[in-house]
Protein backbone atom coordinates (compact mmCIF):
# COMPACT_ATOMS: atom_id res chain seq x y z
CA UNK A 1 0.00 0.00 0.00
CA UNK A 2 1.36 3.42 -0.98
CA UNK A 3 2.20 6.08 1.62
CA UNK A 4 -0.58 8.66 1.61
CA UNK A 5 0.28 12.34 1.94
CA UNK A 6 -2.70 14.58 2.72
CA UNK A 7 -2.86 18.30 2.14
CA UNK A 8 -5.72 20.65 2.92
CA UNK A 9 -7.03 23.91 1.61
CA UNK A 10 -9.81 25.95 3.23
CA UNK A 11 -11.53 26.37 -0.14
CA UNK A 12 -10.94 22.98 -1.77
CA UNK A 13 -10.89 20.60 1.18
CA UNK A 14 -8.71 17.51 1.54
CA UNK A 15 -6.62 16.11 -1.30
CA UNK A 16 -4.79 12.80 -0.86
CA UNK A 17 -1.66 12.14 -2.86
CA UNK A 18 0.94 9.40 -3.24
CA UNK A 19 4.30 9.12 -4.98
CA UNK A 20 4.52 6.33 -7.56
CA UNK A 21 7.54 4.16 -8.41
CA UNK A 22 8.75 6.78 -10.89
CA UNK A 23 8.79 9.36 -8.09
CA UNK A 24 5.83 11.18 -9.66
CA UNK A 25 2.89 12.56 -7.63
CA UNK A 26 -0.54 10.98 -8.03
CA UNK A 27 -3.73 12.67 -6.85
CA UNK A 28 -6.83 10.94 -5.48
CA UNK A 29 -9.38 11.33 -8.26
CA UNK A 30 -12.44 11.48 -5.99
CA UNK A 31 -10.86 14.25 -3.89
CA UNK A 32 -9.91 16.27 -6.97
CA UNK A 33 -13.33 15.78 -8.56
CA UNK A 34 -15.06 16.93 -5.38
CA UNK A 35 -12.91 20.05 -5.24
CA UNK A 36 -13.64 20.77 -8.89
CA UNK A 37 -17.40 20.34 -8.62
CA UNK A 38 -17.91 17.04 -10.43
CA UNK A 39 -21.02 15.18 -9.25
CA UNK A 40 -19.70 11.77 -10.30
CA UNK A 41 -15.95 11.34 -9.96
CA UNK A 42 -15.65 8.09 -11.94
CA UNK A 43 -17.66 9.50 -14.84
CA UNK A 44 -15.52 12.63 -14.84
CA UNK A 45 -12.31 10.60 -14.95
CA UNK A 46 -13.64 8.40 -17.76
CA UNK A 47 -14.73 11.46 -19.75
CA UNK A 48 -11.77 13.78 -19.28
CA UNK A 49 -8.70 11.70 -18.37
CA UNK A 50 -6.67 9.41 -20.61
CA UNK A 51 -6.31 5.81 -19.40
CA UNK A 52 -2.53 6.27 -19.35
CA UNK A 53 -2.94 9.00 -16.73
CA UNK A 54 -5.00 6.87 -14.31
CA UNK A 55 -3.78 4.39 -11.69
CA UNK A 56 -5.30 2.41 -8.82
CA UNK A 57 -3.86 2.66 -5.31
CA UNK A 58 -4.88 1.14 -1.98
CA UNK A 59 -5.90 3.63 0.69
CA UNK A 60 -7.44 3.48 4.18
CA UNK A 61 -10.99 4.83 4.39
CA UNK A 62 -12.59 6.62 7.35
CA UNK A 63 -13.56 3.25 8.89
CA UNK A 64 -10.02 1.93 8.75
CA UNK A 65 -10.68 -0.38 5.80
CA UNK A 66 -8.32 -0.83 2.88
CA UNK A 67 -9.98 0.34 -0.32
CA UNK A 68 -8.79 0.57 -3.92
CA UNK A 69 -9.13 4.12 -5.24
CA UNK A 70 -8.51 5.84 -8.54
CA UNK A 71 -5.58 8.24 -8.70
CA UNK A 72 -4.54 10.53 -11.55
CA UNK A 73 -1.11 11.86 -12.39
CA UNK A 74 -0.30 15.52 -12.92
CA UNK A 75 -1.45 15.41 -16.54
CA UNK A 76 -4.71 13.76 -15.51
CA UNK A 77 -5.27 16.35 -12.80
CA UNK A 78 -4.90 19.15 -15.36
CA UNK A 79 -7.45 17.39 -17.58
CA UNK A 80 -9.94 17.44 -14.70
CA UNK A 81 -9.16 21.09 -14.00
CA UNK A 82 -9.67 22.15 -17.61
CA UNK A 83 -12.91 20.16 -17.81
CA UNK A 84 -14.38 21.74 -14.68
CA UNK A 85 -17.13 24.34 -15.02
CA UNK A 86 -16.33 25.99 -11.69
CA UNK A 87 -14.79 29.44 -11.74
CA UNK A 88 -12.65 28.34 -8.80
CA UNK A 89 -10.93 25.71 -10.99
CA UNK A 90 -8.32 28.30 -11.96
CA UNK A 91 -7.63 29.04 -8.31
CA UNK A 92 -7.33 25.30 -7.63
CA UNK A 93 -4.82 24.96 -10.46
CA UNK A 94 -2.85 27.95 -9.18
CA UNK A 95 -2.73 26.44 -5.68
CA UNK A 96 -1.56 23.07 -6.99
CA UNK A 97 1.10 24.48 -9.31
CA UNK A 98 2.42 27.22 -7.04
CA UNK A 99 2.35 25.46 -3.66
CA UNK A 100 1.60 21.75 -3.69
CA UNK A 101 3.74 20.48 -6.57
CA UNK A 102 6.82 22.59 -5.73
CA UNK A 103 6.65 21.33 -2.14
CA UNK A 104 6.28 17.70 -3.24
CA UNK A 105 9.19 17.98 -5.67
CA UNK A 106 11.40 19.63 -3.11
CA UNK A 107 10.57 17.54 -0.06
CA UNK A 108 8.89 14.41 -1.45
CA UNK A 109 5.62 15.39 0.22
CA UNK A 110 3.37 18.29 1.13
CA UNK A 111 4.08 19.88 4.48
CA UNK A 112 0.96 21.42 5.97
CA UNK A 113 1.71 24.07 8.56
CA UNK A 114 -0.97 25.15 11.01
CA UNK A 115 -0.93 28.56 12.60
CA UNK A 116 -0.07 27.12 16.03
CA UNK A 117 2.70 24.78 14.79
CA UNK A 118 6.16 25.39 16.15
CA UNK A 119 9.25 25.36 13.95
CA UNK A 120 10.29 22.06 15.56
CA UNK A 121 6.94 20.44 14.71
CA UNK A 122 7.15 21.54 11.08
CA UNK A 123 10.74 20.31 10.87
CA UNK A 124 9.75 16.95 12.39
CA UNK A 125 7.08 16.44 9.73
CA UNK A 126 9.56 17.44 7.04
CA UNK A 127 12.05 14.86 8.33
CA UNK A 128 9.39 12.13 8.24
CA UNK A 129 8.58 12.98 4.64
CA UNK A 130 12.27 13.12 3.74
CA UNK A 131 12.82 9.70 5.33
CA UNK A 132 9.94 8.18 3.37
CA UNK A 133 11.26 9.76 0.19
CA UNK A 134 14.69 8.27 0.87
CA UNK A 135 13.14 4.85 1.49
CA UNK A 136 11.27 5.04 -1.82
CA UNK A 137 14.46 6.14 -3.56
CA UNK A 138 16.45 3.25 -2.07
CA UNK A 139 13.73 0.78 -3.02
CA UNK A 140 13.77 2.16 -6.56
CA UNK A 141 17.56 1.81 -6.68
CA UNK A 142 17.36 -1.80 -5.49
CA UNK A 143 14.75 -2.54 -8.16
CA UNK A 144 16.86 -0.94 -10.90
CA UNK A 145 19.96 -2.81 -9.74
CA UNK A 146 18.04 -6.09 -9.96
CA UNK A 147 16.80 -5.19 -13.44
CA UNK A 148 20.31 -4.20 -14.53
CA UNK A 149 21.66 -7.51 -13.24
CA UNK A 150 19.09 -9.40 -15.30
CA UNK A 151 19.87 -7.28 -18.35
CA UNK A 152 23.61 -7.84 -17.94
CA UNK A 153 23.01 -11.57 -17.69
CA UNK A 154 20.87 -11.54 -20.83
CA UNK A 155 23.46 -9.49 -22.72
CA UNK A 156 26.19 -11.88 -21.62
CA UNK A 157 24.19 -14.85 -22.87
CA UNK A 158 23.45 -13.12 -26.16
CA UNK A 159 26.95 -11.81 -26.85
CA UNK A 160 28.16 -14.88 -28.79
CA UNK A 161 25.09 -14.64 -31.00
CA UNK A 162 25.71 -10.95 -31.53
CA UNK A 163 29.31 -11.73 -32.46
CA UNK A 164 28.28 -14.27 -35.08
CA UNK A 165 25.60 -11.93 -36.35
CA UNK A 166 28.25 -9.25 -36.72
CA UNK A 167 30.37 -11.62 -38.77
CA UNK A 168 27.41 -12.27 -41.04
CA UNK A 169 26.43 -8.62 -41.31
CA UNK A 170 30.00 -7.63 -42.15
CA UNK A 171 29.86 -9.93 -45.19
CA UNK A 172 27.06 -8.58 -47.40
CA UNK A 173 28.17 -10.58 -50.45
CA UNK A 174 27.07 -14.15 -51.12
CA UNK A 175 29.29 -17.03 -49.97
CA UNK A 176 29.56 -20.74 -50.69
CA UNK A 177 28.27 -23.52 -48.51
CA UNK A 178 31.90 -24.55 -47.96
CA UNK A 179 32.58 -21.25 -46.19
CA UNK A 180 29.48 -21.58 -43.99
CA UNK A 181 30.30 -25.20 -43.20
CA UNK A 182 33.72 -24.12 -41.94
CA UNK A 183 31.99 -21.88 -39.38
CA UNK A 184 30.47 -25.05 -37.94
CA UNK A 185 33.60 -27.18 -38.19
CA UNK A 186 32.09 -29.32 -40.97
CA UNK A 187 32.86 -30.20 -44.53
CA UNK A 188 30.58 -28.91 -47.26
CA UNK A 189 29.42 -32.47 -47.94
CA UNK A 190 28.44 -33.08 -44.31
CA UNK A 191 26.81 -29.66 -43.99
CA UNK A 192 24.71 -30.16 -47.13
CA UNK A 193 23.54 -33.54 -45.87
CA UNK A 194 22.62 -31.97 -42.53
CA UNK A 195 20.48 -29.35 -44.28
CA UNK A 196 18.88 -32.13 -46.30
CA UNK A 197 18.10 -34.11 -43.14
CA UNK A 198 16.51 -31.03 -41.60
CA UNK A 199 14.23 -30.60 -44.62
CA UNK A 200 15.81 -27.38 -45.81
CA UNK A 201 17.22 -28.48 -49.15
CA UNK A 202 17.34 -31.39 -51.59
CA UNK A 203 19.64 -32.41 -54.40
CA UNK A 204 18.57 -32.00 -58.01
CA UNK A 205 21.19 -33.38 -60.36
CA UNK A 206 24.47 -32.04 -59.07
CA UNK A 207 23.01 -28.96 -57.37
CA UNK A 208 21.50 -28.57 -53.91
CA UNK A 209 18.27 -26.53 -54.06
CA UNK A 210 15.92 -25.32 -51.35
CA UNK A 211 12.55 -26.90 -50.76
CA UNK A 212 9.63 -24.92 -52.17
CA UNK A 213 8.66 -23.31 -48.85
CA UNK A 214 12.05 -21.55 -48.69
CA UNK A 215 12.89 -21.04 -52.36
CA UNK A 216 11.35 -17.57 -52.75
CA UNK A 217 12.74 -16.07 -49.53
CA UNK A 218 15.98 -14.78 -51.00
CA UNK A 219 18.18 -17.18 -49.05
CA UNK A 220 20.31 -18.34 -52.00
CA UNK A 221 21.40 -17.20 -55.44
CA UNK A 222 22.46 -19.44 -58.29
CA UNK A 223 25.91 -19.01 -59.80
CA UNK A 224 27.45 -20.57 -62.90
CA UNK A 225 31.13 -21.34 -63.46
CA UNK A 226 33.03 -23.20 -66.18
CA UNK A 227 34.09 -26.72 -65.32
CA UNK A 228 37.78 -27.13 -64.61
CA UNK A 229 39.93 -28.81 -67.25
CA UNK A 230 37.00 -28.73 -69.66
CA UNK A 231 37.79 -27.79 -73.25
CA UNK A 232 34.19 -28.10 -74.39
CA UNK A 233 32.97 -24.94 -72.68
CA UNK A 234 30.84 -26.90 -70.28
CA UNK A 235 29.78 -25.20 -67.03
CA UNK A 236 28.03 -26.09 -63.82
CA UNK A 237 25.51 -24.31 -61.59
CA UNK A 238 25.68 -24.13 -57.80
CA UNK A 239 24.06 -22.19 -54.96
CA UNK A 240 25.57 -19.31 -53.00
CA UNK A 241 24.04 -18.24 -49.70
CA UNK A 242 22.99 -14.64 -49.13
CA UNK A 243 23.35 -12.71 -45.89
CA UNK A 244 19.65 -13.30 -45.23
CA UNK A 245 20.12 -17.01 -45.88
CA UNK A 246 23.02 -17.26 -43.45
CA UNK A 247 20.95 -15.70 -40.67
CA UNK A 248 18.14 -18.12 -41.51
CA UNK A 249 20.54 -21.07 -41.26
CA UNK A 250 21.95 -19.78 -38.00
CA UNK A 251 18.51 -19.56 -36.39
CA UNK A 252 17.32 -22.91 -37.76
CA UNK A 253 20.44 -24.75 -36.66
CA UNK A 254 20.59 -23.10 -33.24
CA UNK A 255 16.99 -24.14 -32.58
CA UNK A 256 18.19 -27.71 -33.15
CA UNK A 257 21.24 -27.38 -30.93
CA UNK A 258 23.78 -26.93 -33.73
CA UNK A 259 26.04 -23.95 -33.01
CA UNK A 260 28.88 -22.33 -34.96
CA UNK A 261 32.35 -22.86 -33.51
CA UNK A 262 32.46 -19.31 -32.17
CA UNK A 263 29.50 -20.08 -29.88
CA UNK A 264 30.46 -23.56 -28.80
CA UNK A 265 31.58 -23.84 -25.17
CA UNK A 266 35.09 -25.20 -24.89
pLDDT digits (tens, 9 = 90+) for 224-233: 777 666 566 6
Burial (Cβ within 10 Å: 0-12, 13-18, ≥19) of residue 56: exposed
What is the Cα–Cα distance from 76 to 54, expressed in whole angstroms?
7
Q: Count the helix, strand and coil residues of the chain and give each as a percent rounded to the nearest 5.
A: 50, 20, 30
Place 54 in a pLDDT band, splitting at 50, 70 and 90.
very high
Q: What are the φ/ψ torsions at residue 237 (nearest 5 degrees)?
A: -110, 140
pLDDT digits (tens, 9 = 90+) for 175-231: 899 999 998 889 989 999 999 999 999 988 888 899 999 989 999 988 877 766 656
Average pLDDT, the chain: 80
Global pTM value: 0.41
Listed in sequence order, the residues at least 6 apart from 228 whose beta carbon sits closer than 8 Å to its beta carbon are none
Q: Is the dihedral of CA 32, 38, 39, 41 positive or negative?
A: negative
Beta pairing, strands 207-210 & 201-204: antiparallel
Span 122-138, average pLDDT: 61
Specify the length of the chain in residues: 266
pLDDT digits (tens, 9 = 90+) for 94-108: 888 888 787 777 655
Amino acid sequence: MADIQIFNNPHFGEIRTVINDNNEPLFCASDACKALGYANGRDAVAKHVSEDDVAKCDIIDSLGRTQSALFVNESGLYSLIFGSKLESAKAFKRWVTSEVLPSIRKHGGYIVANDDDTADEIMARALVIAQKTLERRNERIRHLEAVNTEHAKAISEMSPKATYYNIILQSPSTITVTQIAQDYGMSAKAFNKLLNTLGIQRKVGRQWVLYSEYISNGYVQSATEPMKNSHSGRSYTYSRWTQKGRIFLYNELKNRGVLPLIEQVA
